[in-house]
Structure 1
Amino acid sequence: MAKPVRARIGKREIRCLTCGGDVFREREVKLNSTGMEFFNLAWANESATGLICWSCGYVQLFVNGGISLYRADA
């Protein structure tokens, strides 16, 4: 099972847009496109950091590299 994390961009803490929680599970999410799938090049698609709210399950995606993750004790 994924470990709970908190996240921030710069000095700003990230919170869940649905419930306001601040603890997440993190996972890489591939941003697949139809064209790349058709040509069997899905591996070349861009990926994002997915933050899944520990409380309600809402998923937020971040494409930039400016997100910082740190351990949370849920």
Structure 2
Amino acid sequence: MAKPVRAAIGDNWITCVFCKGDLFRDREVKLNSTGMELLKFGWANESATGLICWNCGFVHLFANRDIELYKVKKGEI
């Protein structure tokens, strides 16, 4: 099972835009385009960091490479 993380870009901590939660599951998400898929270059598409809210499940996508993820200890959940 995925472990929760907190995330920030610089000094700005990220919270869920729906429920204001601050714990997320993270995963890489491919930003596929139709043209690249038709030409069989889907592997070359850009990717983003997906943050899935631990509380409500809302999905946030960040193409910003400066995003930092921080592990959450068991006692902090």
For the aligned pair, the TM-score class normalised by the smaller chain equals: over 0.9
Q: Which residues of structure 2 form unaligned runs of 5+?
A: none
Measured after TM superposition, the shift of residue 68 of structure 1 is: 0.6
Does structure 1 residue 31 correspond to structure 2 residue 31? Answer: yes
* Alignment partners' CA distance in 2, 1:11 and 1:33: 32
TM-score scaled by length of structure 1:
0.96
**Correspondence for 1:21:** 21
Task: Find the residue that maps to 2:36 and give its secondary structure.
Answer: helix
Distance 1:63 1:27 in 2: 12
User: Comparing 22-31 with 60-69, which one deviates more in the overlay?
Assistant: 60-69
Q: Deviations over 1:40-65 (max 9, x none)?
A: 11000000000000000001110011
> Any idea what SS the aligned residue of 1:36 has?
helix
1:9 corresponds to 2:9: yes
Aligned structure 1 segments of 4 or more residues deviating by more than 3 angstroms: none
- Normalising by structure 2, we get a TM-score of 0.92
CA distance in 2, matches of 1:37, 1:69: 30
Structure-2 separation of matches of 1:54 and 1:33? 28
